[in-house]
């Protein structure tokens, strides 16, 4: 039997003031937002193994990744499709009421009402 997912971002939590809709991580912060979303998901219970933790820490030390070299690197592990940033976003989405959406746009992350995301064409 699987454990039920604890919902964090719900209409009730919004009414209580547990969180606010709007910009979570400003696009002006650049690549580091990829690490910041992983840390946010970790605050809500997402876990990383030792290798993933190493990638995250290396990325936080050098978020531009210029020294990563050739092939798979910590930079790719955090930022590429299916990387830690995507996994963290999915983790948060699983714990978010279907009325809200996590939207990445030009490097910034916003939590908004799904109707607003649809209006702006983020989903289809």
The mean pLDDT of 11-33, rounded to a whole number, is 91
Tell which residue, 82, 1, 96, 80, has the closest CA to residue 40.
96
Mean pLDDT (the chain) is 88
Separation between Cα atoms, residue 33 and residue 25, nearest integer Å: 6
**Tens digits of residue pLDDT in 23-54:** 999 998 888 999 999 999 999 999 999 999 99
Beta bridge partners, 103, equal 110
Most confident of 34-38, 59-63, 64-68: 34-38
- For the chain, strand residue ranges (E) read 22-25, 100-105, 108-113
Measured CA to CA, the distance from residue 1 to residue 12 in angstroms comes to 27
d(CA 96, CA 11): 9
The per-residue pLDDT for 67 is: 56
The pLDDT assigned to 29 comes to: 87
């Amino acid at each position: 039997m699987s454990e039920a997912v604890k919902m964090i971002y719900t209409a009730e939590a919004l009414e209580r003031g547990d969180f606010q809709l709007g910009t979570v991580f400003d696009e002006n912060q650049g690549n580091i937002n990829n690490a910041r979303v992983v840390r946010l998901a970790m605050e809500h219970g997402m876990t990383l193994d030792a290798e993933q933790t190493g990638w995250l820490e290396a990325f936080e030390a050098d978020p531009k990744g210029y020294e990563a070299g050739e092939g798979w690197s910590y930079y790719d592990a955090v930022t590429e499709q299916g990387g830690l940033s995507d996994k963290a976003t999915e983790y948060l989405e699983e714990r978010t009421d279907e009325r809200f959406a996590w939207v990445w746009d030009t490097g910034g992350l916003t939590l908004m009402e799904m109707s607003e995301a649809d209006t702006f064409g983020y989903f289809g």
